[in-house]
Structures are given as C-alpha cells and as structure tokens.
Amino acid sequence: MAEPKPRTFKRVCFKLLETCIFASMGVIDNALRIIGPFFVLFAVTLISGVIWAWFKYILDTVADPGTPMRYVHITIACTLIFNVAWNYFRTVFVSPGQTPDEYDQNDIETGVVSKLDPGKFWDGFGRFCKKCRKPKPPRAHHCSICRKCVLKMDHHCPWVATCVGHRNYRTFYLFMFWLWTGCVYVMCTMGPAFLSNLHRKRGQRENGAVVFSFILAFSVSIAVGLLLSWHTYLIATAQTTIEWYNNHMFKQEARKRGTKWVNQWDIGIIANFALVLSTGDKPKNFIFWFLPSLDPPQGDGLSFPLRGHVLKEEEVPMAPLDLQPSNPMVVEGRTE
C-alpha cells in the first residue's frame, strides 16, 4: 500500500485560511443577529425625525391653517406615514416562512426536479439542506443568520432584522415603494425651506432640522430608488436575488451552446407581479396590490406555477440544463 503524501506548506496554509474564513463568517452572522434590533430602532428613529421636522417646520410653509390645501397635505402625509409604518413593521414581525416539519418532497410536481441530477431542482439548487438535515422545498435556502431554511428566500436584510422571503416579500417591496414615494414628497415640499435655511445664520434650530431632513430624504430616495428598481426587475422576471446569480450563469452557458435559456418560474410579467403583490385566494385588481392587507400572499411557498404549465408547449424553448453539456465538468450551469 502506498504511503500517504505528506501535507505541503501550501495545503496547510490553505486549510488555515479556510478555517479563518469560516470562523469570521460565524462571527459576522452572530453579530448581525445581535445588532439586528438596533438597526430597526435606528431606522424608526430616522424616519420619525423626518416626520417630526416636516410637521414642525414645513406644513405651515406649504399651506395656511384652515385652508383646504392644508388638509390635502395632511391627508397625503398621513397616508404615506401609515403605509410606510404598516409595511415596515409587517416585514419585521411577520415570519418569512420556513420549511414545515411535515414537508414531503414526494409531492413535488413534474418539471421541478432536474433531469440531469435528481438531487437538485431544475434551477441547480440542492433538494436537501445539510444544516437543517431535512429536505428543502423549491426556491428555499438556508440562512446562516436566522439558522433556518427560508421559503423563497431573497436575502437577509439587517434593516428589518430578518430574512426577506415568501411571506414578507410583498410588504418589503411595498415598504420600499412607499418610503421612496415619501422621500420624493418630502423633497418637493421641503425644497424651498431647505434652500432658504442654507442662507440663515448658524444656531437656528430649524436650520439643522430642515437641512438634515432634506439631505436624509435625498440620500434615502437614491438608495431606496435603486433597490426598488432592482426588485421591480426581479419580480417582473420571476427571480430572487439568490436565483439571479445562478440564472446569470445559466444564460452564459446557453449562449456558449447557441441555445436560449428559459426561467421556468417566469409565467409572464403581469402574472409574476400578481403572484407577489396580490393577496388572498384570488389575484385582485392591481390597484389593491399597493394597499395594506392582512391576507397572506399567494401560494404556500412550497410550490410555484411553472412556465410550461401556463404557456403552450411550443412556446417554451428547451432550457440548456436539459441538454447534454458540451463540457463534461459543467452540470446545470455550475462548475463541479
């Protein structure tokens, strides 16, 4: 029997580096889990400060007391405040959804499991969680911060101290929408006072409050606007942030083979938005998509409609992951 090769210095260094990386990731996960509530408190404080500054210094400048226009501005402001608060706290306190203990993968519909590797779904993600030691539903992923598998996980957001998944993705998206709308409204109504305060002497109380609130609203409108645009694109194309990375690799592999890759979760732009924003048993009119609701989102988070079940068979191009890869080292768009 051949003697085992001695460990080289390079392999020892690599193993040490790997151990340090995993240890650092564990420390970061624990830190985010601990400071999450402080992020929520900080966000609530900033939003409350802008609201206070607007009512204290701006309302009287945009409309005189007792005038109809004043009630219009108060109505708009209260509508924005209510929707921002409602969707934010619903996102924070409503569970994103996790794999139930009685989940059975034998109930998975045809077309979800990979034809090349039965241990994976068609999108290349594994069907079993090594951390939870139990099967995963389609589009579910394990969050190392929350320490559980989250249904249709998009990402872990420190500003809401939880994961964004199947059950709170709607309110997360609507929170961004109403917050961005509120920031634009604040900038429009606070703009003249902001410019006026720039020329006032230092030490005046409203100087700092108005200037800070306007700059904060401007900064948040850009950051949230970009994030809102990104998630609008994800909803329109039936992807999550995690899935986008895999899908990007699939598209590159398909382009190399001269084929077209198709996202099987994509059932059409309108249907994709209805699946995320509508609530209850049936999709509602799109006007209700942006209003508060206590009803749960569409579906159970364990199964999702497939493109092949919605479109005619001849309308669905063959996905490259169903073809024999030209490179034997490439399996479903992932390098093994």
The total of other beta-carbon atoms located within 10 Å of residue 81's CB is 17
Q: Which residues are within 8 A (CB) of 191 and not within 5 positions of it... i.e. 6 or more apart?
A: 214
Q: Taking a C-beta distance cutoff of 8 angstroms, is the pair 151, 165 a contact? A: yes
Widest Cα–Cα separation across the chain = 96
Residue 188 annotated in active site: no
Q: Is residue 12 exposed (0-12), middle (13-18) or buried (19+ Cβ within 10 Å)?
A: exposed
Helix (H) or strand (E) holding 133: none
Catalytic residue among 143, 146, 149, 157: 157
Q: Taking a C-beta distance cutoff of 8 angstroms, is the pair 139, 82 a contact? A: no
User: ∠220-225-230 over CA atoms, to 5°?
Assistant: 135
Burial 139-158 (b: 16+ CB within 10 A, else e): bbbbbebbebbbbbbbebbb
Q: What share of the chain is helix, strand, coil (3-state, %, to 5)?
A: 55, 10, 35
How far apart, in whole angstroms, are the C-alpha atoms of residue 158 and residue 34? 10
Q: Is residue 275 exposed (0-12), middle (13-18) or buried (19+ Cβ within 10 Å)?
A: buried
How far apart, in whole angstroms, are the C-alpha atoms of residue 105 and residue 111? 13
Please give the DSSP secondary-structure letter assigned to residue 231. H
Q: Taking a C-beta distance cutoff of 8 angstroms, is the pair 253, 335 a contact? A: no
Q: Which residues are catalytic?
A: 157
